[in-house]
Amino acid sequence: MLHFDQLPAAALAQRFGTPLYVYEEQTIRQAYRRLRAAFAFTDLRLHYAMKANANPWILRLLLEEGAHIDAVSAGEVHLALAAGCPAHRILYTQSAASDADMAFALQRGVLVNAESLSQLARLGSLAPGSRVCVRLNIYLGGGHHSHVITGGPDSKFGIDWEQWPQVQELLTAKGLRLVGLHCHIGSGIRDASLLAHAVSHLFHTARNFGPLEFLDFGGGLGVPYRDEEGPLDLAHFASLMEEKYRAFCQDTGTSPAIALEPGRFLVATAGNLLCRVTSVKQERKHLFVGTDTGFNHLVRPAFYGSFHRIDAVTPRPGELRPTVVTGNLCEGGDLFTRDEHGPLPRLLPPLQEGDLLVLREAGAYGFAMSSRYNSVPLPAEVLVDGNQAKLIRRRETLEDLLTTVPTALAPETL
Ligand code: LLP
């Protein structure tokens, strides 16, 4: 019988219904503490990349642990502040930010991370003399899929590091005060030396600038999704980073704070999508097992061909069978056992309609990327701690699907 912390999965399904996102509070706290403890830096800022999971109750528990926040939209700034994060602990890294986006952050005292020369210039005009961080493209990229690579010639993010003289000029011309440099090369990286390589690049470029309050190396720290995948070697990453930091401090006579922006690392393994089997059919080629969820609730398999472990809550005895686990949406790609190209049957115990399944490692970019496609309301989210379950987002209702639609039209001639 499968449990989340001390609670049986079946009891959670019974009480809160399915599909249900279930998070283990202690797993999140432990991930944060493990990451913090891996580094010797006295001033280490772990900016939780809340795009991975923006539930305010999850933000609160990470803030309690001491996290800072990486926010990428006005909505994320709003949620972080609402969860009690002080403005000075938020770094605002919006892609293609408008003046309105920047004004929103500035008015709340949130530091803007500028990722283009034009954004820097506009920031200078909006808020002359303000503090600013600059995001560089250090021409290094990595990640579990091409969609999540954020550095290199094809990347839309950041200012080409070779343009540092133009950055300098703009800062001077606009009277802006550069307090930090930032890079982020991609997501889902379990190779410590690649991450450390990015660290070297940013330290190298930072030598062209004056004293900085902090250097932010972004997120991207991967976690294993498959049994055969090894974890990121944190100790190795930390030692490489510390070595480069010591050299930087010695050469420049400065000792900036170090920032990282972990999203996946902190929440992926803590989260699970609990769902129910609603259909079992043996077709000519495949055994299809349909569920009461779909890529509207967990898009990673359909979007990236990502692998998520699938466990039966109460495995039935019998031979494992090659099974294609599907969602309930009207699209052929709505499969949970697939790669980028199509179905990939997985060996699972016999399943019957009514059985419960768990899609594992779904805490990061799970609910956060969910949608109301096919007009299916969003699932509920529950946080489990010991033998206690807390509903941290109620299940949407059919009525919720109509909340933003006026009941009568008020035509306007413009
Ligand atoms: N910092 C910046 C500037 C980012 O763009 C991201 C992720 C992070 C930090 C956090 O990266 P992490 O530590 O979570 O790898 N939806 C994709 C992942 C997209 C990541 C986007 N940016 C997925 O489901 O794999």
For the stretch 101-136, pLDDT in tens is 999 999 999 999 999 999 999 999 999 999 999 999
| Residue 1 in this model has a pLDDT that exceeds 90 | no
Closest-lying ligand 1 atom to the alpha carbon of residue 221: 13
Residue of the nearest CA to atom 22 in ligand 1? 187
pLDDT band of 369, cuts 50, 70, 90: very high
Spell out which residues line ligand 1, taking CB within 6 angstroms: 49, 51-52, 70, 93, 148, 150, 184, 187-188, 218-221, 261-265, 300, 364-365
Domains and their CATH numbers in the chain: 25-267 (3.20.20.10), 269-396 (2.40.37.10)
For the stretch 307-342, pLDDT in tens is 999 999 999 999 999 999 999 999 999 999 999 899
SS3 letters for 328-393? CCCCCCCECCECCCCECCEEECCCCCCCEEEECCCCCCCHHHCCCHHHCCCCEEEEEECCEEEEEE
- Residue 330 catalytic? yes
Measured CA angle at 173 (ends 169, 179), to 5 deg = 70
Instruction: Measure the CA–CA gap between 53 and 382, rounded to whole angstroms.
Output: 13
For the stretch 292-312, pLDDT in tens is 999 999 999 999 999 999 999
Pocket test for ligand 1, best of 47, 51, 221 (most atoms within 8 A of CB): 51
pLDDT of residue 85: 98
Instruction: Give the Å distance between the CA of 217 and the centre of ligand 1.
Output: 12
pLDDT of residue 224: 98
Instruction: Give the Å distance between the CA of 141 and the centre of ligand 1.
Output: 13
Is the Cα torsion angle 155, 161, 170, 88 positive or negative in sign? Answer: positive
For the stretch 392-408, pLDDT in tens is 999 999 999 999 999 99
| Residue 86 in this model has a pLDDT that exceeds 90 | yes
For the stretch 215-239, pLDDT in tens is 999 999 999 999 999 999 999 999 9
pLDDT band of 289, cuts 50, 70, 90: very high
Instruction: Give the Å distance between the CA of 312 and the centre of ligand 1.
Output: 29
